[in-house]
Copies of this chain bind each other. A is one copy, B any other.
Amino acid sequence: MPFICQPGEVRADASPGALHRLKATPATVHWGYFDAGLAPVLRVKSGDLIEAEAVTHHAGDAPDLMMDEGVSAIFSGVPEADRNPGVHIMTGPIYVEDARPGDMLEVRYLKMTPRLAYGSNLAANWGYLYKEFGERERVTIYALDQSANQAEALYAYDFPGKYLVPGTVTHCPECDRQPALKGVRVPARPHLGTAGVAMDVKGRVSTIPPGAHGGNIDNWRIGAGAVMFYPVQVAGGLFSIGDPHVSQGDGEISGTAIEASLNVLFQIVLRRDFSFPGPLLETPKWWIVHGFDEDLNLATRNAALDMLGLLTDHIGLSRNDAYSLMSVAADFAITQVVDGRQGAHVRIPRSLFPPQAGDG
């Protein structure tokens, strides 16, 4: 089986096993953290399909539009004091039989469907231009047009006070709804902002900083049709998904995307035939590596070095060839510009490389 397939190729072991359904409930979510000590809510075998609910922690920005009974149950069932040290509602963890540290989890995202027809963008206190906007926060509610694969702003309001508690319910029916972005239609890019495996650390680890385990990468290309590779850190992997987005731009500069609950169909395949030091993304067009740091300069350097590793260790190019090719064909981009937590990524087109002998 090739490390990464050419577009259109089918992996040898791709035939799905069982299909599991995983609802998001107070009992199947963990809010704000990964924790290697959490009991799994689902056990799957390599190859199994999972249809899981990912619930946005921003549903409280427009509870009348973004909450149904199941979402409300999570908001009322998970006390505010239990939502930390991060902010994202994570569904899981999923235990993958036989997965052990050093393996890779290949997660094939097959389908991402909005659960409700609305999403929220918060211009947050952790946003890139918070100071330039007078340290005021603001919510813009978007309506989703699934048939057109677009979103359109419905109304906006100034957030009262400071958004500090994850899942704050702002009772916006009482707020001053202002028109916003009249006539502008935003292309939908449904994806998971946060997904990954538990880290080999005792206790809770915040969902906010991304890392080798995946986590809060916020790359909008992690949508249907994409394949993510996560390095397993603990037995079973303990994979969770959350932070569903209907759209964001590279950078996500206000601090949030169009946050909206998604139902996600994916397949998990256990891989022992290769390893990679960080979260690696394959889309129909690209291979993508990520770098993270407080300093965008260093995040970019980390991503550059990981791309060099991908091209040499896995594609088989010489270091010299890889460097030249990166300069003429790899695109560097900014995944996240939220202050204090920068993300960069590097994309190289899969079409550059002819299928290898023995592939397919």
Measured CB to CB, the residues of A under 8 A from B are 121, 123, 127-129, 132-133, 138, 140, 142, 151, 153, 156, 180-181, 183-187, 247-258, 295-297, 300-301, 304-305, 308, 317, 319-321, 323-334, 337, 342, 344, 346, 349, 351-354
Contact = CB atoms under 8 A, between A and B. Distances in A.
B308 A129 contact: yes
Contacts of A308: 129, 132
A123 B323 contact: yes
Contacts of A326: 249, 251, 253-254
B296 A327 contact: no
Nearest to A246: B328
A295 to B, nearest CB: 7
A132 B322 CA distance: 13
A132 B326 CA distance: 14
A123 B320 contact: yes
A180 B300 contact: no
Give the top 3 A-B pairs by smallest Cβ distance, nearest first. A251-B332, A254-B327, A332-B334
Copies of this chain, whole number: 2
A324 B181 contact: yes
A331 B251 contact: yes
Nearest to A255: B327
State the main secondary structure of chain A at its contact with B: mixed
Contacts of A153: 321, 324
A320 B258 contact: no
Given A321-B180, A323-B129, A186 B331 contact: no
Contact of A332 (B133, B187, B250, B331): B250
B328 A257 contact: yes
Contact of A253 (B129, B184, B248, B330): B330
A327 B252 contact: yes
Contacts of A181: 317, 321, 324-325
B328 A337 contact: no
A297 B295 contact: yes
A323 to B, nearest CB: 5
Contact of A296 (B297, B317, B353): B297
Given A250-B333, A319-B133, A328 B296 contact: no
A151 B329 CA distance: 10
Contacts of A304: 128-129, 251, 253, 337
A13 to B, nearest CB: 27
B333 A333 contact: yes
Contacts of A133: 319-320, 323
A349 B187 contact: yes
A296 B302 CA distance: 14
A181 to B, nearest CB: 5
Given A153-B321, A353-B184, A334 B328 contact: no
